């Protein structure tokens, strides 16, 4: 087995010409530093199985709903493929229903699929109900929105303080109807009514309104659709997300730990994992970045 000191000495001198060493015990340690060439040499020593890479691609295609492509890819690469096309199609249609704002349809179809998916996940059910309320506000059906909030959401909010905070934030859309129209980025905007007067426009740009504005963005629908999709996947024996996304999270976490521990990464490598995570994992889910727009 390769010891820690052996691994450290293998890294060789730092760019300044000093040798690297790790001090045993509780004393201070000097971790190695790398230039770009040294770092690439170390990466090239890692043996990545082609079978593992193919399995990642297959998993991504299956989880993201490309069942036909997943089967074809498995056939060409020799991977075992046991794909239930009907389940994949049903899951993707439910996901799309939420993204389109058809929340009642999505809830009905999930209950037909397996009632336990929502019965055992109160936060998810509350978020779907909350999105239903937002869609009623979006369609300007205020009486029905108030009735729905009173009968379905208020009792749940009373039992859970976290739910109550989210409900109060959503109800603010009723107190500021111009804000709801201003924030709505649906596919059929009405320019004549979507821009508030200058005084309110200035008010809505205050930071306190950002989380409220985010509720009317399409990205919020996508966030809830991903939450529901994860619950269905888990119910069907899959992971909550693609294995590729999990690896990107791990890469970002590991990169942060290396930097915090003092390892001298090349400057162009220092935040690569975090940048990938920001681009891939927050795609369609970056409410904060869009809420003030």
Contact 261, 158 (CB under 8 A): no
Tokens of 245: 């996304």
Where is mean pLDDT largest: 197-201, 231-235, 244-248? 231-235
Residue-averaged pLDDT of the chain: 80
290 against 222, higher pLDDT: 222
Beta carbons of 255 and 272 less than 8 angstroms apart:
yes
Task: Write down the pTM of the prediction.
Answer: 0.71
Q: 251: which residues sit within 8 A by CB, 6+ positions away? A: 273, 276, 277
pLDDT of residue 192: 44
pLDDT at 35 over 50: yes
**DSSP symbol at 46:** S
The pLDDT, as a whole number, for residue 3 is 42
Please state the rounded mean pLDDT for residues 286-291: 38
- Whether 229 shows a pLDDT value over 80: the answer reads yes
Q: What is the pLDDT, as a whole number, of residue 187?
A: 53
Domain coordinates of the chain in residue numbers? 49-83, 86-238, 241-293
Share of the chain above pLDDT 70, in %: 80
The whole-number average pLDDT for the span 131-150 is 94
Candidate from 19-23, 139-143, 220-224, 239-243 with smallest mean pLDDT: 19-23
Closest C-alpha to 90, from 72, 69, 65? 65
Per-residue pLDDT at 19 exceeds 80: no
pLDDT category at 15 given cuts 50, 70, 90 is very low
Q: Residue 264 forms beta bridges with which residues? A: 33
């Amino acid at each position: 087995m390769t010891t820690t000191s052996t691994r450290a000495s293998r890294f060789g001198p730092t760019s300044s010409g000093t040798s690297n060493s790790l001090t045993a015990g509780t004393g201070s340690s000097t971790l190695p530093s790398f230039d770009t060439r040294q770092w690439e040499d170390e990466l090239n020593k890692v043996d990545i199985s082609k079978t593992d890479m193919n399995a990642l691609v297959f998993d991504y295609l299956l989880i993201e709903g490309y069942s036909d492509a997943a089967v074809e890819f498995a056939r060409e690469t020799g991977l075992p493929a046991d794909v239930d096309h009907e389940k994949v199609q049903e899951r993707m249609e439910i996901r799309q229903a939420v993204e389109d704002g058809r929340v009642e349809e999505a809830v009905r179809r999930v209950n037909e699929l397996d009632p336990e998916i929502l019965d055992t996940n109160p936060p998810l059910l509350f978020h779907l109900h909350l999105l239903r309320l937002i869609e009623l506000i979006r369609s300007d059906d205020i009486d029905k929105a108030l009735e729905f909030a009173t009968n379905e959401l208020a009792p749940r909010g009373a039992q859970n303080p976290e739910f109550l905070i989210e409900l109060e934030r959503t109800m603010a859309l009723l107190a500021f109807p111009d804000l709801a129209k201003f924030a709505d980025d649906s596919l059929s905007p009405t320019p004549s009514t979507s821009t508030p007067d200058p005084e309110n426009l200035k008010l809505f740009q205050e930071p306190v309104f950002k989380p409220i504005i985010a509720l009317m963005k399409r990205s919020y629908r996508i966030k809830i659709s991903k939450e529901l999709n994860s619950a269905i996947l888990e119910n069907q024996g899959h992971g909550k997300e693609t294995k590729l996304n999990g690896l990107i999270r791990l890469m970002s976490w590991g990169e942060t730990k290396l930097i915090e521990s003092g390892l001298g990464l090349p400057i162009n490598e220092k935040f690569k994992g975090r940048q990938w995570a920001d681009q891939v994992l927050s795609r369609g889910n970056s409410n904060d970045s869009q809420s003030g727009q």
